[in-house]
């Protein structure tokens, strides 16, 4: 056991020595929205008191709280929060489309996804949840070592896949998938993961220009090729004439992704890179079951 502890400590120190400033920023973000003691807010076998409720016929007599019951004409049961740790896997779209930013003052979609992913991981670890990076081969754990491993996966230049790869996971675990979901094969990947018994949460990261289409006059639009063979481009003389049709199509695509998630019993949320990340992190943490 001592040898194992020394090995884990050595790994933690080695990883910590190379951590990017992003992990520090993510930890500060998590601390700014920390919700205190982690509770499921549903009945279970934990130690934390949640609420009293009226006694039911299926309840054991030993579950009755006699002190509370003595205050009224009814019998009451003391319920506790469910505190069993769950496993939450994280994934970020590594495609070239995630490198987009419409202006220097706005983070790229990939940078914002990384920040939210690491901040969420930090919150989960603080709450005693097991977390890990999907398909990495690393075990999910409720420790800072897990945070370090996740950060290293995000830094890996080989992490360019747009979809989570097939991976052995336990039924009942959760996946939080960060991306822009522009790939038409997204829904197929979602269905594959859902069939494995995984509950999913989609976080759609969008740049403000993608939603607003603020372009006017002669404009060149470029799309980086995913196979590394240059860029595809097209020039429009009056870009503003495309605005109405483009925005309608963009909105419809977002609704399609949300509907696909809903059919699987998954949640979905949208975050714009020009908005503060705190609200998105709180909403996501609540969707997972952290509130």
Q: What is the DSSP string of 29-48?
A: HHHHT--SS---SSBSS-SS
> Cα–Cα distances in Å, from 174 out to 95, 231, 247?
22, 36, 32
Question: Alpha-carbon distance 257 to 181, whole Å?
Answer: 8
Q: What is the pLDDT of residue 9?
A: 53
Q: What is the pLDDT of residue 287?
A: 85
pLDDT value, residue 1: 43
Quote the pLDDT of residue 20.
62
Residue with tokens 């020039």: 235
Selected from 2.40.50, 3.30.70, 3.40.50, 1.10.3470, the CATH number assigned to the domain covering 20-37+84-288 reads: 3.40.50
Residue 200 makes CB contacts below 8 A (sequence gap 6+) with 174, 175, 176, 177, 190, 193, 194, 261, 264, 266, 267
Given this model, what pLDDT does residue 290 score?
A: 57
Q: In the chain, which stretches have pLDDT less than 50?
A: 1-2, 4, 15-18, 35-47, 81-84
Residues of the chain with CATH 3.40.50: 20-37+84-288
pLDDT of 85: 60
Altogether, the residues listed in the chain come to a count of 291
> For residues 161 and 31, is the Cβ–Cβ distance under 8 A?
no
Are 270 and 206 in contact, with CB atoms under 8 Å apart? Answer: yes
- pLDDT value of residue 6: 55
Note the pLDDT of residue 38: 44
Measured between alpha carbons, how far is 171 from 4 in angstroms, rounded to an integer? Answer: 29
The pLDDT, as a whole number, for residue 120 is 94
Q: Give the model's pLDDT for residue 42.
A: 43
């Amino acid at each position: 056991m001592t040898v194992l502890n020394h090995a884990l400590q050595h790994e933690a120190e080695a990883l910590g020595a190379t951590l990017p400033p992003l992990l520090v920023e993510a930890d500060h973000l998590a601390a700014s929205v920390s919700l205190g003691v982690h509770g499921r807010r549903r009945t279970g076998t934990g130690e934390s008191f949640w609420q009293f409720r009226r006694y039911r016929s299926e309840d054991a007599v030993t579950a009755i709280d006699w002190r509370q019951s003595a205050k009224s004409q009814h019998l009451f049961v003391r319920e506790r929060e469910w505190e069993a740790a769950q496993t939450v896997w994280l994934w970020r779209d590594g495609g070239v489309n995630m490198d987009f930013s419409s202006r220097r003052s706005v983070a790229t979609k990939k940078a914002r996804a990384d920040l939210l992913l690491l901040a969420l991981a930090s919150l989960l670890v603080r709450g005693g949840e097991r977390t890990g990076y999907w398909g990495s081969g690393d075990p999910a754990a409720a420790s800072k070592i897990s945070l370090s491993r996740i950060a290293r996966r995000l830094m890996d230049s080989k992490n360019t896949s747009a979809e989570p790869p097939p991976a052995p996971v336990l039924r009942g675990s959760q996946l939080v998938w960060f991306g822009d979901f522009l790939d038409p094969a997204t829904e197929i990947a979602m269905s594959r993961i859902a069939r494995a018994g995984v509950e999913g949460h989609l976080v759609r990261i969008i740049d403000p220009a993608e939603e607003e289409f603020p372009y006017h006059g002669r404009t060149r639009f470029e799309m980086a090729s995913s196979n590394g063979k240059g860029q595809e481009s097209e020039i429009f003389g009056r870009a503003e004439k495309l605005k109405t049709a483009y925005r309608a199509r963009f909105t419809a695509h977002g609704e399609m992704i949300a509907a696909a998630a809903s059919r699987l019993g998954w949640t979905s949320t949208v975050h714009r890179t020009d908005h503060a990340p705190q609200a998105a992190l709180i909403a996501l943490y609540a969707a997972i079951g952290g509130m």
